[in-house]
Amino acid sequence: MDATVETPRILRDDAYYTLRREIEEFYYDEAECIDTRRFTEWLDMLHEDLRYFMPMRHNVKFGQHAERENTREDEGISWFNEDKWTVTKRVEQILTGVHYAEEPLSRTTHMVTNVQVLQALPDAASAQEVHTSCRFHTYLNRVEYETYNFVGKRYDRLVRVDGDWKVRHRKILLDQNILQAKNLSTFF
Partner 1 sequence: MTHPSKAADFVDWRRGQISREIYVSEDVYRRELETLFTRAWLFVGHESQIPNPGDFFTSRMGEESVILVRDKAGVIHVLLNSCRHRGMKVCRYESGNTSLFTCPYHSWTYTTDGRIRGIPLYKALYDGNLNRDEWSLVEVAKLHNYKGTIWATWDPDAPDFLTYLGDAKIHLDQALDCRDGRPGGSEVIGVHKWVFPANWKFAAENFLGDTYHNPSHRSVDMIGIGPSALEGVKGRRDNELEQAQHVWCSFPAGHGVHSAVQPEGYEFVDQFKNDPEIADYFRYCHEERKRRLGEDARFLPFVGTIFPNTSYHGRQPRSLCSWHPHSANETEGWRFFLVDADAPTKIKDFLRTYYMRYSGPAGMTEQDDMENWLYATKASMGTIARRHNFNYTQSMGASELNPVVNGIEVRGDVSQQVTEHMAVGFYRRWAQYLDQEPWDVLMGKGDERFTPKAAEE
First to last CA, the chain: 20
Q: Which is nearer to partner 1, 131 or 154 (CB)?
A: 154
Q: For the residues of 51-110, what is the DSSP string, one character each?
A: EEEE--B----TT-HHHHSB--SSSS--SEEE-HHHHHHHHHHHHTS--GGGSSPPEEEE
Nearer to partner 1, 4 or 176 (CB): 176
Cα 158–chain centre separation: 11
**Cβ neighbours of residue 186 under 8 Å, at least 6 residues apart?**
34, 106, 108, 110, 138, 140, 150
- At its nearest, how many Å lie between partner 1 and the CB of residue 7? 29
Smallest distance, partner 1 to C-beta of residue 90, A: 6
In whole angstroms, how close is the CB of 184 to partner 1 at the nearest point?
4
Cβ proximity to partner 1, 119 vs 176, nearer residue? 176
Question: Contact residues for partner 1 (CB under 8 A)?
Answer: 54, 56, 58-61, 64, 68, 71, 75-82, 85-86, 89-90, 92-93, 96, 98-102, 143, 146, 177-185
Return the number of the residue (81 or 132) whose C-beta is nearest partner 1: 81
CB of 63 to partner 1, least distance (A): 11
